[in-house]
Amino acid sequence: MSDVVIKVENVGKQYHLGKVGTGTIANDLNRWWHIARGKEDPYLKIGSVNDRTSKSSINDIVWAVKDISFEVKQGEVLGIIGKNGAGKSTLLKILSRVTAPTTGDIKVKGRIASLLEVGTGFHPDLSGRENIFLNGAILGMTQKEIKSKFDEIVDFSGVERYIDTPVKRYSSGMYVRLAFAVAAHLEPEILIVDEVLAVGDAEFQKKCLGKMKDVSGQGRTVIFVSHNMAAVKGLCTQGIILRNGNLMFSGDAESACSSYLGSSMQLAGDSLIDRKDRQGTGSIRIEELFFIGKSGNVLNTLISGEYAKLIFKYKKIVIGSIKPLFIGITIRNDSDVIQTVIATDELGISVEIEKEDGLIEVEIPEVLLRGGMYSVTFQISYKANQMASHEIIDRVENAMYFQVERGDYWSVGNINRPTGYLQQASIIFK
Amino acid sequence: MQQKQDWDLVIKPKNKWYDIDLAALWKYRDLLLLLVRRDFVAVYKQTILGPLWLFIQPIITSITFTVIFGRLAKMSTDGNPPILFYMAGITLWTYFADCLTKTSNTFIANAGVFGKVYFPRLIIPLSVLVSNLIKLGIQLLIFLIVWIYYLNSASQTINPHWEYMWLIPVLIFMMAGLGLGFGILISSLTTKYRDLTFLVGFGVQLMMYASSIVLPISSMPPKVKAIMLFNPLTSIIEAFKFIFLGSGSFEGLWLVYGFGFMVVIVSIAIIVFSKVEKSFMDTV
């Protein structure tokens, strides 16, 4: 098959930490001398743990991405998923030729256009019209192409009235809309998009997503980076996961998303006690968190409509009782969208913890979530009085992940659809 | 192996030193034109006189030189009317100086754009060359007006060498080449070590005095003259004055040397530039 349009082979990119300038000229000469004699770069140590976030690394060299290999076929929409610092942006920069890789190579078939930012090269003093042409040319369009699409671009941006006004007088929303409109009308065979969709109001975002869908629908190849799982799922056909600069997973978008959550879940599985990403004073700490069923058995998977009990095992470090306490539990779906919240103050429950350790049991008579993967974020806080703000005692984001299996909640013999929560409703015909 | 030919583009850690993609430059020619347009439109937005400034600048410089060097310091102008003499030097010199200073910060000034989108980086310095060429055209026009005035006035003696007139475009081309060469070389070197940016300002000033703009080469002792001629700009400026004013010395061999110098510096500069452009984003 020769419909592979991008072939990435063993791509790596290395950065030097610290200042460029004083002291580096000697290193530079030394390195140059070694390479000139055909020796290895003396400052390039391979085999050390590649963790960009750890501060105690001995090396002043870091691999932003390392040994990445994947292929993209024509017409595919590839989502690149990863946490901050996983190397997504570096990979995009290499793909869009802003910077060269340190190792490996990338082979590309067709014209690439990259959108790492909207409005690149906009000149504040020029009018919207002039900037459309300039920006279009920077992105690789010819003047003829821009001219033929000019009306479409203006229409899409919705800034028709201000098209002859210098863009420095635009509101930031107008500016971004105009900039995206130009970018959206590029017609490359391969489009590389960074999280530019995080701009504009909801309506405009929807328009952009729609436009991107159009692009991919025309048999063009798109590479898309986002934190937004819903967008990745909705748009992409394929997905890869990066972690600490390494390729963790490559496959279809759906399984990439769940694998991403799975890998975070693994992180959560490190057991709650060991989690380092806690917030709060820590005078009370939740040490374990799990679901049990009616008979007291630990549940790994919940079933829609059935009973479950969420158990918090806590330990109090300070002496004496703390009150008034508030406990909040947030349940998010796999697109990181909040599905529901359970809060003690809302339920009218006043909380007081006296014992040094014990259990907090949250009883859920019927799980009203549809099938899918969900996460639990909890927060225990203290509030001295009505006016005071919450003082966080213990809070862990995505402390636990759990799966909900689709059930037959309405008892009609039909399995419920996935996604969302179950809404009680009756339908009457009149 | 057979598939290898199918790829339109291969992104590699390093390119071969001679790997300069002229086809890509040509493909982006529209961008070059738009950048030139931007240079003109943007600079004179919100000014009252607008493009008139293009005329005012060289006239004022020439008058200043005439007053300071001609009237006050009474320096030799090879028997030419001072204003014409200085104008001849300044016109060509300004082109070189502008090209050099504006291209010498290509990478630093455009880091924002370069960091986000790819296009052949050479487009930017080339657009500087072209937009300055238009400015040069305007200044040349002013010079020609003054020149024609003196040509027709009986009291002054200027003897243009019409037979060498065809050399003028070559001289301009050489100036452009030298400006571009030095400019992008400096720009490539400053991505990592900024020191050179401080030198550019007064380096250009110094070079002006070492290029027979102010002092004609004929008024110098032979030793200094020989040294001056190693500066390729000297022979270009002298040739320019020789052709239009009939004064100055026309050193054919030095002109050939200047041309060779220009070709070498441009080649080196482009090779260094295209090497640096691949990864300068990491250091700039």
* Predicted confidence (pLDDT) per residue in B101-149, tens digit: 999 888 888 888 888 888 888 999 999 999 999 989 988 998 999 888 8
pLDDT of the residue at A17: 66
Element housing A233 (H / E): helix A229-235
Rounded distance between C-alpha atoms, residue B9 and residue A78, angstroms:
19
Task: Report pLDDT digits (tens) over A124-137.
Answer: 888 899 999 998 89
Single-letter amino acid, residue B41 = V
Give chain A's mean pLDDT: 80
Task: Compute the average pLDDT of residues B145-173.
Answer: 85
Least confident of A46-50, A80-84, A166-170, A358-362: A46-50
Q: How far from the centroid of its chain's Cα atoms is residue A48's Cα?
A: 27
**Residue A405's pLDDT band (cuts 50, 70, 90):** confident
A79-103 as b/e: b if 16+ CB within 10 A: bbbbbebbbbbbbbbbbbbbbbbbb
Single-letter amino acid, residue B243 = I
Q: Which residues sit opposite A404 in a β-bridge?
A: A302, A372
Task: Compute the average pLDDT of residues A140-167.
Answer: 89
More confident residue, A411 or B204: B204
Give chain B's mean pLDDT: 84
Please state, for a pLDDT cut of 90, what percent of chain B lies above it. Answer: 19
Task: Report pLDDT digits (tens) over B197-238.
Answer: 788 888 888 888 888 787 787 777 888 888 888 888 888 988
Pick from A39-53, A187-201, B150-164 the range whose average pLDDT is largest. Answer: B150-164
* Residue A324 preceded by cis peptide, ω within 30: yes
pLDDT of the residue at B136: 92
C-alpha dist (Å) from residue A105 to A77, A255, B9, B31:
21, 27, 10, 28
Pick from A26-30, A235-239, A338-342, B107-111 the range whose average pLDDT is largest. Answer: A338-342
Taking an 8 Å cut-off on Cβ atoms, the answer to whether A138 and B13 are in contact is: no
Contacts by B46-50, CB closer than 8 A, 24 or more apart: B46/A125
Taking an 8 Å cut-off on Cβ atoms, the answer to whether A98 and B116 are in contact is: yes
pLDDT of the residue at A38: 67
Task: Report pLDDT digits (tens) over B40-69.
Answer: 888 777 788 877 887 888 788 888 888 888
A249: closest CA among A237, A235, A259? A259
Taking an 8 Å cut-off on Cβ atoms, the answer to whether B8 and A109 are in contact is: yes
Q: Which residues sit opposite A353 in a β-bridge?
A: A322
**Residue B175's pLDDT band (cuts 50, 70, 90):** very high
Taking an 8 Å cut-off on Cβ atoms, the answer to whether A99 and B113 are in contact is: no
pLDDT of the residue at A53: 47
Region of A307 please: left (phi>0), alpha (psi -120 to 50) or beta.
beta
Taking an 8 Å cut-off on Cβ atoms, the answer to whether B38 and A95 are in contact is: no
**For residue A24, which residues of chain B lie inside 8 Å, CB to CB?**
192
**Nearest C-alpha in B relative to A135:** B31
Rounded distance between C-alpha atoms, residue A330 and residue A49, angstroms:
35
Mutate to test the interface with B, among A138, A164, A189, A223 (most CBs of B within 10 A): A138
Q: Give the pair of three-digit tokens for residue A230.
A: 């819903």
Q: Hey, is the C-beta of A21 within 8 angstroms of any chain B C-beta?
A: yes
Task: Compute the average pLDDT of residues B84-107.
Answer: 88
Place of tokens 């720009």: B187
Q: Give the pair of three-digit tokens for residue A351.
A: 């909380």
ipTM more than 0.90? no
Q: What is the DSSP track for A196-214?
A: GGG-S-HHHHHHHHHHHHH
pLDDT of the residue at A255: 81
pLDDT of the residue at B172: 93
Q: Give the pair of three-digit tokens for residue A153.
A: 């671009």
Check pLDDT > 50 for residue A301.
Answer: yes
Check pLDDT > 50 for residue A116.
Answer: yes
Taking an 8 Å cut-off on Cβ atoms, the answer to whether A109 and B42 are in contact is: no
**For residue B279, which residues of chain A lie inside 8 Å, CB to CB?**
99-100
More confident residue, A41 or B255: B255
pLDDT of the residue at B256: 92
**Residue B177's pLDDT band (cuts 50, 70, 90):** very high
Q: Give the pair of three-digit tokens for residue A343.
A: 């809060």
**For residue B193, which residues of chain A lie inside 8 Å, CB to CB?**
21, 25
Rounded distance between C-alpha atoms, residue A194 and residue A115, angstroms:
6
Please state, for a pLDDT cut of 90, what percent of chain A lies above it. Answer: 7
pLDDT of the residue at A48: 43
A242: closest CA among A263, A265, A223? A263
Q: For the whole model, what pTM was predicted? A: 0.73
Check pLDDT > 50 for residue A54.
Answer: no
Rounded distance between C-alpha atoms, residue A398 and residue A229, angstroms:
15
